Amino acid sequence: MTVLLEGWRALVTGAGGGIGEATARRFCEEGAAVAVTDRDGEAAESAAALLRTAGYRVQAGTLDVTDEAQVEQGLGEAARAFGGLDLVVANAGVLTVSPLADLSLAAFEETLRVNVHGVFLTLKHAAAHLRTAGGGTLLCTTSQAGVHGYSEMSAYCASKFAVVGIVKSLADELAGEGIRVCAVAPGVTDTAMYGELVRARSHLWHVDEAEADERIRRTVPIGRTATPEEVANAFVYLASPLASYVSGIVLVIDAAEQS
């Protein structure tokens, strides 16, 4: 059977669970060696252990994307282990849901620090490794909230819109070096972060979590959340030779979610 990423060397941030873990697994299934990283080192090791059991070539590492030294170290360790890097996914992120009147500057800045500064640092240092490899692919996780604005989500939307800007700028800047840059924008996806969203909406809407969950699902015409694997498949496509002439795009995976 033909695999799409045979011999590729990849690193995924925020891969201790959810979309990041599913993406790391799909990359392995398509033939890549993958560094599974997360600021929760135990979660990263747990995810990597499952992949090792399945016979895949993986390594695990603690990587806080807001710490530049950790970003450089994590990328360097993966490059040394695999003999280089061809593919990096800046997936790590946090969710903030709050009305503007209640949103503190500290919370706003922390959202940007993880979701924007973290992407910037990951792509900046990953690009150096891809140059050494003679090219490759940089991918980011933005969000449906990076395409549309949502009430009580100004910090999160600001951060995810910023990721879109970074992607479009770097796609142009790095094209001449054989480096493609794209983003995936998931809609509501069945992850721990979705649980956070449901709890936050439940509080803001003064309804129980079941009702909040139902209201959110009603915004999706298909009537359900995405699975992490469905989003991971989009990353596989953008990473692979199937997308060899694709750069600077934001691939929205939202089943026509309505803002």
The span from the first CA to the last CA of the chain, in angstroms, equals 40
CA distances from 61 to 21, 36, 140, 239 (A): 13, 6, 19, 22
129 close to 177: Cβ distance less than 8 angstroms: no
Catalytic residue, chosen from 56, 150, 156, 194, is 156
- 56 catalytic, yes or no? no
Cα(259)–Cα(255) distance, integer angstroms: 12
CA 249, 254, 255, 259 torsion-angle sign:
negative
Cα(240)–Cα(87) distance, integer angstroms: 10
CA 131, 168, 104, 194 torsion-angle sign:
negative
- Could you tell me which residues are beta bridge partners of residue 137? 87, 180
CA distances from 15 to 23, 61, 63 (A): 8, 10, 10
What token pair was written down for 39? 């600021």
Number of residues in the chain: 259
Catalytic residues: 156
